[in-house]
Structure formats: structure tokens, C-alpha cells
A and B are shown apart, each in its own frame.
Chain A
Amino acid sequence: MNASLKRPFSRDQRTTIVYGMLVFVLIVVVLQLWLLTATMNAWLGGDDAVVWPAAAVSAAGLALNVGLLTFLGRIERTRRLGE
């Protein structure tokens, strides 16, 4: 493999990566907020069909966010090892 591909990300690159991740995470969090209010409204109105599917979608969003955060931690660890 090309050695340059293994090089750890610089701080500038990591800042750009964090910005990109933030966009994804923000969109997912806003979606989760909407999902929570819509589910609560439906459930209080007696419609419980959406409760568990909405919880599953929200959990999937959380998994995506945690995955992105884990990836960020991994590239930071790589940077520290490479220093």
C-alpha cells in the first residue's frame, strides 16, 4: 500500500472532518427531535402503532452518531500514535 495513505490526518484535515461529521450529526439530531415530538403527539392521541418503529429509527440515528464519534476518536488515536 502507498505509504502516504497511511499517514495520519493533520489537524486541519481533522477539523474539516469534524465539520463534515457535525453536519450529519446535526441533521440526525433534528430528525430525532421531530420524531420524538411526532411520536409523543400520536401516542397521547391513542395511536400506538408508530411507537416502536419510531424508537427503532431513533436508535439507528444514535448508532450512526456514535459510530461517527468513534471514528473521530480513532483518527485522533492514530494521530497520537503517529506523532
Chain B
Amino acid sequence: MAEVRSDPRGQVDPAINSPGREGLTGTAPANLYAPGFEREQITIAPDFAPADAQPAWRQDFPIDWPQDLYVERRDFMKFLVLISAAFTLGQVSIGVQNWYRKRSGQPAIQRIASVDDLAVGGAVSFTYPDEHEPCLLVRLSTSDFVAFSQKCTHLSCAVIPKPAEGSFYCPCHEGRFDLRTGAPTAGPPRRPLTRIVLDVRGRDIYAVGVQERTI
């Protein structure tokens, strides 16, 4: 049977005339003042009752709750620092992408369509500045043309032109943008559509640049 270690002070009656103290000179036995357990080494149950009063399962698997609390908080803090590092990494990645964006410079001029191809209120889709950026060219009147990126500024769904309603409509989350300016008018989008700068040369319409806006 395994030896159970216990506090030696509990076994000794410190009364001077108690049994087991015969022959002593009135002083307490040396082991009475043996160092007890340090407070931090004592397992404290959640109900603060002594170990003997705990159910058998807790006696078999004692959990040091104050230590558990401390370790939990410490590990939570480590996790938060990791998240903090991820956010910083995100900021740096934006900086790197910005550097690439600046490095690539202004996109090349590209012919989109002929004025004659588009009726008033009509729209034509094209890609600019590369094949991964779908855009829409809309003819507002005989002399007015506007072009915007087709990607909704909420979650990049493709917007649909609704000239009769004077808006671009995003079917994903019921977002709407003004047909003339690309400004958000309804739904979750907060930023306007990216504007494609146009230049009409003779009978041809050219895309000459990209204008991103926050308001």
C-alpha cells in the first residue's frame, strides 16, 4: 500500500500532557514545526471544502483550480498576442500590395466600344485594366457615358445595370449604386464603385484610367 504523505502537524497534540509526549522536557517535538505545504502546492477544490470531503472522482483526479485559472488566462494572453501578430502581418501585407500597385503604374489605354454600338440606356461589359476586372459601360444620353467596375464594393458580386431605375443593382445583398456617380444608395455597400475614366475620341470610346474612391 502506498504511503500517504500528510501534514505531520495534524498527528501531534501540542498539549504538554498529551499521550506520546512522555519523557519530553516540555518542549514540542521537532516535527511539530516541520515545514508545512506551501499554499501554492495545495490543491483547492472549487467548493473550498477539504480534500477528504470531496467526491471520490475528484480525489482521484484532483484539479488545482487556481493554477488552472492562471494557466487559462496566461494561454489566452498568448493567443491574443498571436492574433495581434496576425493583424500586424495583415497591415504589412496591405503595404506590400500598395507597393506593387504603385509600381505597376497607370493602366494602358484601351478601346472599349464605338459610340454607335450603344443605344441610350444601353450597357456593354468589358474588362479593364486586365481580364480579371469586369466593368460596365453605360450610355446615359446621346453624349454622356459612364463606366464603372462591375464588382460590388461589399463582397465583389457582379452588379447589374438598371438604367430605368437609375441604378446599379447587386443581387447578392440588395445593394444599389447610383447609375451616374456609382455612389452607394442602398444596402450594405459603403464605398462607391470604382470609376473607369473614359475618353471619347471621334466615334470610339477609350478607357484611360481607374479611379478608386472612398466617398
Contact = CB atoms under 8 A, between A and B. Distances in A.
Q: Give the interface size bracket for A toward B.
A: 35 or more
A42 B77 contact: no
A70 B190 CA distance: 41
Nearest to A66: B81
Most chain A Cβ neighbours within 10 Å, of B95, B97, B153, B191: B95
A39 B94 contact: yes
B91 A46 contact: no
Contacts of B153: 44
B39 interface: yes
A72 B92 CA distance: 27
Contact of B81 (A33, A46, A47, A65): A65
Contact of A26 (B67, B80, B190, B214): B80
Main secondary structure of the interface of A (DSSP, over half): helix
Q: Give the interface size bracket for B toward A.
A: 35 or more
A73 B205 CA distance: 65
A40 B87 CA distance: 12
Interface stretch (B19-27, B68-76, B129-137): B68-76
B40 A11 contact: yes
Contacts of A42: 214
B173 interface: no
Contacts of B69: 15
B212 A29 contact: no
Interface of A: 10-12, 14-15, 18-19, 21-22, 25-26, 28-29, 32-33, 35-36, 39-48, 51-52, 54-55, 58-59, 61-62, 65-66, 68-69, 72
Interface of B: 39-40, 66-67, 69-70, 73-74, 76-78, 80-81, 83-85, 87-88, 90-92, 94-95, 97-98, 101-102, 153, 190-191, 211-215
22 contacts: A10-B40, A11-B66, A15-B70, A18-B70, A22-B76, A22-B77, A25-B80, A26-B80, A29-B84, A33-B87, A35-B87, A36-B87, A39-B94, A41-B190, A43-B98, A45-B215, A46-B211, A48-B101, A51-B98, A58-B87, A65-B81, A72-B74
